[in-house]
Amino acid sequence: MAHDTYPLKREYEPANTLTAININQQIIGNACPAGGDPVSWLQSMVQFYNQLRDADPNMMPNDQFAKHLITLMSPDIDWRYCRDNLCNRLKILEATGKPLLSNFVIQTLKNEEVQLQLHPSFAAINTIVATGKSRRMDGRTVTGVYAANQESVGMSTSPANRGQSKQPQQNDRKANP
C-alpha cells in the first residue's frame, strides 16, 4: 500500500511546495500601505497564513509570521503606539529566547482596531440598537442601556482620553408634563 502512495506524494508535493512558496511571497510582499485599510489587510494576512499552513506547515513558523505582521503593519501615525509596543515586546522575548506568537500580535491589532474605532465594538453596536429601540411609556422616554452619545455615558473612548472619566452633564431638557 505504501509503495502505491509514494508516487502520488512525489507527483503532488511539488505543486504544494510551489503553492507554499507563492503564498509565502504574498505574505512577505503584503505591506499595509499608508492610509490603507488595516482591518482588511489583517484579514488577508491571516487568510494567506492559513493557506500557507495548509500547503506547507513548515514553510513559515508562527513566530516568523508574527514578525512579518509587525514589520508590515500600517505605517500610519495612529498605529505608532501599537507598533512600538509590539516591537518592544518582540525584542524582550527574543532576548529571553522566547517566541512572540502570531495569536498575540493578531489580538493586539484587533484590540487597536476597536480603540481606533475601525471595527465596531459591542458597545457601539448596542448603542445603535438601544437608540433605535427607545420607547414611550407614561409620557416619558425610556431609553436603552446605552445613550446615543458618549457624553451621557460618562467615559471618553477617544485614544487621547482613554480611561479618563468625564463629569456628568446636567440635562437641559424640561420633563414632559
Could you report the per-residue pLDDT of 146-164, keeping only the tens digit for each?
A: 334 434 334 444 444 444 4
Helix (H, G, I), strand (E, B) or coil at 165: strand
Same domain assignment for residues 127 and 41? no
Separation CA 13–CA 171 (nearest Å):
70
What is residue 115's predicted lDDT score, i.e. its pLDDT?
A: 83
Same domain assignment for residues 101 and 30? yes
Total number of domains in the chain: 2
Q: Lowest-pLDDT range, 3-17, 70-84, 95-109, 124-138?
A: 124-138
Question: Residue for cell digits 488595516?
Answer: 38
| Nearest Cα to Cα of residue 78 among 37, 124, 30 | 37
Same domain assignment for residues 111 and 130? no
Q: Whole domain around residue 25: which residue ranges?
A: 2-115
Q: Lowest-pLDDT range, 53-57, 101-105, 134-138?
A: 134-138
Question: Residue for cell digits 505543486?
Answer: 15
Q: Is residue 57 part of a domain?
A: yes
| pLDDT tens column, 30-39 | 999 999 989 8
Same domain assignment for residues 78 and 145? no
Q: Is residue 175 part of a domain?
A: no
Looking at the chain, the number of H-run helices and the number of E-run strands are 7, 2
Question: Residue for cell digits 499552513?
Answer: 53
Same domain assignment for residues 9 and 82? yes
Same domain assignment for residues 34 and 111? yes
Residue 61 dihedral angles phi and psi, to the nearest 5°: -65, 160
| pLDDT tens column, 95-133 | 999 999 999 999 999 998 888 877 554 544 555 555 455
| Nearest Cα to Cα of residue 176 among 132, 133, 137 | 137
Entry pTM? 0.60
